Amino acid sequence: MINSVRNTVLAICNKNNYGYISPSDFNLFGQQAQMDMFEDYFYQYNYQINKVNAHTTGSSYANLAENLLEVIDSFSVYEALVNNPPATNNYSLPAIIIGNTGDFYYINRLQFKNLDIEKVSESKLLNLTNSLLTAPTEEWPAYIVRGNTATIYPDTIAGAGVVFCQYIRYPLAPKWTYSTLTNGEPVFNHTSADYQDFELPLSDEPMLTTKILQYAGISIRETEVVNTMNTMEANENQQEQ
């Protein structure tokens, strides 16, 4: 999808070699656009949930909340957390995963054996642990987050390979790669080791293009491009609701 998007962006912007977008600029704009749309998925999902609860949405193909959930779930990762320091009830939250991603976006749940570990606010921790009825046990474990560390209660839950995490990661940064120049133009090479396509669904290509064009329009100081793309985005959002 990334080459198609780039070609479209260049076709719209690049006129008489005035609006040329370099590969590195395109990658930066692409990352911004993808992150913007990724974040927007969660707002859209919440909006669609409210519509479902108001009985103003259909089922099956018209169930947009389910469709959005599918996209969000495509960024779901499940992995064991690393004990830090070892043999304690402190675990490092996922920071580095494959490729060039940075971080987790949202920790959905921690798991111990076949049980969910419940996230609690640190402001409630002492109330929770001092309550006979709700104190965390190995049947009802809980955790708090301090910085990049999850502390699990009770502290008998410790050691490597016992706590697992399911989280939504950020999309990988897109990278349009090339290896050679032909007539001064870079030639797309998807076999490059650092190649990375957009991770959003194909149906998001028009919106991705629109957003990249907004950034590109600002970059080349072309107000007309920015305004046009803003209008297109607003229209599209209106239609999708």
Partner 1 sequence: MAYLSGYQYYENAGAVPEDENWGSYQYVSLTDVVNNFMLIYQGNHELVNNINRYQVLFHAKRAIQELNYDAFKEIKALELNVCDDLRFVLPPDFVNWVRLSLFKNGMLYPLTENIQANSAESYLQDNNCNILFDQSGNILQPEHSLLDTERLAGTARTMYLNNDSIYNGSEGYNIDGQWYFDFQIGARYGLNTETANVNPTFRLDKAAGVINFSSGMAGEQCVLEYISDGMNRQPFTGTGSKGDPYVPNPSDVGVKVHKFFEEFIYAYIKYTILNSRFGIQEYVVRRAQKDKSALLRNAKIRISNLHPARLLMNMRGQNKLIK
The residues binding partner 1 (CB under 8 A) are 49, 52-53, 88-89, 116, 118, 120, 125-126, 128-140, 142, 151, 153-156
Rounded to whole angstroms, the Cα distance separating 120 from 143 reads: 6
**Closest distance between partner 1 and the C-beta of residue 90, in Å?**
9
Residue 121 or 179 with smaller CB distance to partner 1: 121
Closest by CA to 72, choosing from 94, 100, 46, is: 46
**Closest distance between partner 1 and the C-beta of residue 129, in Å?**
5
Residue 133 or 181 with smaller CB distance to partner 1: 133
Decide: helix, strand or coil at residue 211. helix
Rounded to whole angstroms, the Cα distance separating 118 from 123 reads: 14
Q: Which residues of 109-126 are buried (b: 16+ CB within 10 A; e: fewer)?
A: ebbbeeeebeebeeeebe
Residue 4 or 129 with smaller CB distance to partner 1: 129
* C-alpha R_g of the chain: 23
Burial category of 99 from C-beta neighbours within 10 Å (exposed 0-12, middle 13-18, buried 19 and up): exposed
Residue 48 or 177 with smaller CB distance to partner 1: 48
**Closest distance between partner 1 and the C-beta of residue 30, in Å?**
32
**Closest distance between partner 1 and the C-beta of residue 135, in Å?**
5
**Closest distance between partner 1 and the C-beta of residue 17, in Å?**
51
Q: Which residues on adjacent β-strands are paired with residue 116?
A: 111
Confirm if 126 and 102 have CB atoms less than 8 A apart: no
**Closest distance between partner 1 and the C-beta of residue 203, in Å?**
23
Residue 103 or 138 with smaller CB distance to partner 1: 138
Query: What count of residues does the chain have?
Result: 241
Residue with tokens 């991705």: 208
Closest by CA to 94, choosing from 171, 170, 165, is: 165
**Closest distance between partner 1 and the C-beta of residue 136, in Å?**
6
Residue 148 or 179 with smaller CB distance to partner 1: 148
Residue 69 or 232 with smaller CB distance to partner 1: 69
Rounded to whole angstroms, the Cα distance separating 196 from 30 reads: 11
